[in-house]
Amino acid sequence: MDAATTMDESDDPCSGLGQVVRIAGCGAMMGTAMLVKAILFDCDGVLVDSEVLSLKIELSALSEIGLDYTPDSFIDRYMGMSGDDLHRALDEDCRQRLGHTLPAGFREACHARYRTALSEGELKIVPGAAAAIRRIGQRKAVASSSGTEGLKLKLTLTGLWDAFAPHVYSADVVRRGKPAPDLFLHVAETLDVAPEHCLVIEDSVNGICAARAAGMRVWGFLGGGHMGESRGDYLKQAGADRLLSDWSHATHVLTSLSLAV
């Protein structure tokens, strides 16, 4: 097993179960076994390497107005939120720390910088994602905090749209974004799969919390360009049941789960 995973092989609940692969449940279901019928993927930082771009742009723009964050503190507090929730939280933090709200047009200026980065070809697929997705046998979907238009653009630019469409879901379709469970529950209902039979692949604390609140199993993904060495500890503390170091590691594990279909 990859060193990024904290489990020993003997503790792996998928080990040695032959043609029907079951994994232990989470939350209220801990100690039970469940069949994985659908895999729900976050997009940013899991499928497309967009978080590293967003982080660079947002930290730079915030620093320019006197609101400084370390990368780790920003990731812990804000990564995985919808755009609306993120900017509401930043606006409140700016008010508390600097005595005023974000400057007019701040969000639009960040979006303009991001669009420029996309137009210059800076957005990349997370290495190995496309090949891994093609090998997954279960029903699958994208459940992302990105807006609907931006989500489609990112998946199209990286060649992943057709691998998931029509099952691509933005936080725009629910009232509350991550860390609330609404988006994951909406996707499970649309796929006609019970939450306890869903596995979520996430790279953010907010996403991990959302999956657990939805009653789903959740594995933390560490292969995005923004993920430092310590990020796995934060995801485990948030409730990730297992860590996947990259798509090579994830392919091996998720392909074995395909035997459960």
Q: Could you tell me which of 161, 143, 141 has the C-alpha nearest to residue 152?
A: 161
Give the pLDDT confidence of 141-156 residue by residue, as tens digits: 999 998 899 899 999 9
Give the sheet arrangement for strand 242-244, strand by strand: 168-170, 139-144, 38-41, 198-202, 217-221, 242-244
Q: Could you tell me which of 169, 127, 170 has the C-alpha nearest to residue 38?
A: 169
How far apart CA 217 and CA 200 sit, in angstroms, is 6
Instruction: Write down the pLDDT at residue 22.
Output: 33
Going by pLDDT thresholds of 50, 70 and 90, the confidence category of residue 64 is very high
φ/ψ of residue 201, rounded to 5: -110, 115
The pair of structure tokens assigned to 3 is 């060193």
Instruction: Write down the pLDDT at residue 231.
Output: 81
Instruction: Write down the pLDDT at residue 126.
Output: 94
Going by pLDDT thresholds of 50, 70 and 90, the confidence category of residue 16 is very low
In this prediction, residues 107-116 reach a mean pLDDT of 89
Q: Could you tell me which of 99, 101, 79, 81 has the C-alpha nearest to residue 91?
A: 101
In this prediction, residues 51-68 reach a mean pLDDT of 89
Domain range annotation of the chain: 9-49+124-260, 51-119
Q: Is the peptide bond before 103 cis (omega within 30 degrees of 0)?
A: no
Task: Compute the Cα dihedral for 213, 232, 37, 10 and give only its sign.
Answer: negative
Domain 9-49+124-260, classified CATH 3.40.50.1000, yes or no:
yes
Q: Is the peptide bond before 166 cis (omega within 30 degrees of 0)?
A: yes
Give the pLDDT confidence of 192-225 residue by residue, as tens digits: 999 999 999 999 899 999 999 999 999 999 988 7
Give the pLDDT confidence of 33-42 residue by residue, as tens digits: 458 999 999 9
Domain 51-119, classified CATH 3.30.70, yes or no:
no
The pair of structure tokens assigned to 46 is 């899991």
3-state DSSP percent of the chain in helix, strand and coil, to 5: 50, 15, 40
pLDDT of residue 164 exceeding 90, the answer is yes
User: What contacts 133, CB < 8 A, 6 or more positions away?
Assistant: 41, 47, 140, 160, 163, 164
